[in-house]
Amino acid sequence: MISTYGTILLVENHCPICAAATVCQGLCRAELNVFQEILQAQVKRVEYILTGSRRCTYRITNHIQPE
């Protein structure tokens, strides 16, 4: 994790669900939703293995912004 000014980057260099996620991308959406629910924060995926990045990275801010 990297923390700067109220924002945390959660970096998954070794994704535990990568093989399954290539077949069912709903797993990645579910993971994102779990992070938001558990952390009660705004979570945005900024790097994504399935789109060619070398890892998945999530930016976490300290509150959920209204949609």
pLDDT tens, N- to C-terminus, the chain (67 residues): 666 677 899 999 988 888 899 899 899 999 999 999 999 999 999 999 999 999 999 999 986 555 5
Our measurement of the distance from residue 46's CA atom to the centroid of its chain's CA atoms, rounded to an integer in Å, reads: 8
Q: What is the pLDDT of residue 14?
A: 87
CB proximity list for 35: less than 8 A, separation 6 or greater: 10, 41, 43, 58, 60
Nearest-angstrom CA–CA distance, 11 and 8: 9
Give the pLDDT score at 27.
94
